[in-house]
């Protein structure tokens, strides 16, 4: 399993991601991000790594009337899922690589990215692209997950599935979504990308809730690239891995409803 597979959201993953991951993890942070941007009354907003549209839907509902919204993602399948859900206003959906954005310099008043910068192969380069397409005085708002130990469901599922493959544990969640949590490192990469102003950083805890212990296990094991890791080791053990994750969550939180801590860092930096 190569780290490159961490960026592959294909097959049934987009649908499962949207069904399980969005309500489990992304909605409270999407609301926070949309509120931060709407308060700045931007006229033209670019979203990168839009995924299945959790933030896109919030932005469409909260941005001032007349604001234009362009939502991009590297994976067309994720955008297709997002577009199928629909939004409160017209959105321009566009497949694009955040490392080489197909937009002119200074084209946007704001750039938003929810839990996507962790996937950039060269963080400083990706940040430099966000900087390039921002107008002077424009704002880049993004968030990253804190370390996996303070994101309880992800930690429990990772540990449980790892026990099934002790010689080569699937570590997608720890390596990528929760692997870029050091604030000083992010600030350094922003500086290397050309941002000269120090970002405002907000650490936001929230609660992740599900109807039962199996839901987080399905979300992580089948609705993220962790699925690719499991099936690469033994495709016949996907359900076994999911069940192991469910049992681990149940052992700590009960059969359900379950309620676990999630935590993220929000960065706001002005050009």
Query: Once rounded to an integer, what is the mean pLDDT over residues 21-35?
Result: 88
In this predicted structure, the answer to whether residue 101 has a pLDDT above a threshold of 60 is yes
Q: How far apart are CA 131 and CA 110, in angstroms?
A: 10
Strand-strand pairing, 108-114 and 134-145:
parallel
Query: What is the pTM assigned to this prediction?
Result: 0.91
> How many domains are there within the chain?
1
Note down the domain range covering 223: 3-270
Long-range contacts of 80-85 (CB under 8 A, 24+ apart): 80/14, 81/14, 81/15, 81/17, 81/18, 81/52, 81/53, 82/18, 82/50, 82/51, 82/52, 82/53, 82/56, 83/53, 85/18, 85/52, 85/53, 85/57
| pLDDT tens track for 165-211 | 999 999 999 999 999 999 999 999 999 999 999 999 999 999 999 99
pLDDT band, residue 26 (cuts 50/70/90) = confident
- Residues 79-107, mean pLDDT to the nearest whole number: 94
d(CA 58, CA 63) in angstroms, rounded, equals 8
Average pLDDT over residues 17-30: 81
Confidence (pLDDT) at 20: 74
Q: What is the CATH number of the domain that holds 74?
A: 3.40.50.150
Give Cα separations from 236 to 167, 222, 242 (angstroms): 18, 13, 12
Mean pLDDT of the chain: 92
Confidence of residue 121 (pLDDT cuts 50, 70, 90): very high
pLDDT tier, 9 (very low <50, low <70, confident <90, very high otherwise): very low
Give the pLDDT band of residue 78 (cuts 50, 70, 90). Answer: confident
- Residue 5's pLDDT is 44
**pLDDT in the model for residue 4:** 47
Non-local CB neighbours of 203 within 8 Å, separated by 6+ positions: 146, 263, 264, 265, 266
Question: What average pLDDT does the segment 46-62 reach?
Answer: 95
């Amino acid at each position: 399993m190569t780290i490159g597979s961490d960026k592959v959201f294909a097959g049934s993953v987009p649908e499962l991601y949207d069904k399980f991951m969005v309500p489990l993890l992304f909605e409270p942070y999407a609301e926070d991000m949309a509120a931060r941007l709407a308060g700045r009354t931007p006229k033209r907003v670019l979203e990168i790594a839009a995924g299945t549209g959790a933030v896109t839907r919030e932005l469409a509902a909260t941005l001032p009337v007349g604001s234009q919204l362009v939502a991009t993602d590297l994976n067309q399948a994720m955008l297709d899922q997002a577009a199928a859900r629909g939004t409160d206003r017209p959105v321009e959906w566009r497949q694009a690589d955040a490392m080489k954005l197909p937009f002119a310099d200074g084209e946007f008043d704001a750039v938003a990215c929810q839990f996507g910068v962790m996937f950039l192969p060269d963080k400083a380069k990706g940040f430099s692209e966000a900087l390039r397409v921002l107008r002077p005085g424009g704002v880049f708002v993004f968030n990253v997950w804190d370390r996996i130990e303070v994101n309880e469901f992800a930690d429990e599922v990772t540990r449980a599935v790892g026990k099934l493959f002790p010689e080569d544990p699937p570590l997608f969640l720890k390596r990528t979504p929760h692997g870029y949590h050091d604030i000083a490192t992010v600030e350094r990469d922003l500086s290397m990308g050309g941002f000269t102003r120090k970002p405002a950083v907000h650490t936001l805890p929230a609660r992740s809730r599900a109807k039962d212990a199996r839901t987080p296990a399905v979300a992580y094991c089948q609705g993220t690239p962790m699925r690719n890791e499991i099936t690469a080791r033994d495709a016949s053990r996907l359900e076994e891995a999911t069940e192991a994750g469910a049992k681990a969550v149940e052992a700590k939180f009960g059969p359900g409803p379950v309620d676990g801590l999630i935590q993220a860092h929000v960065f706001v930096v002005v050009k």
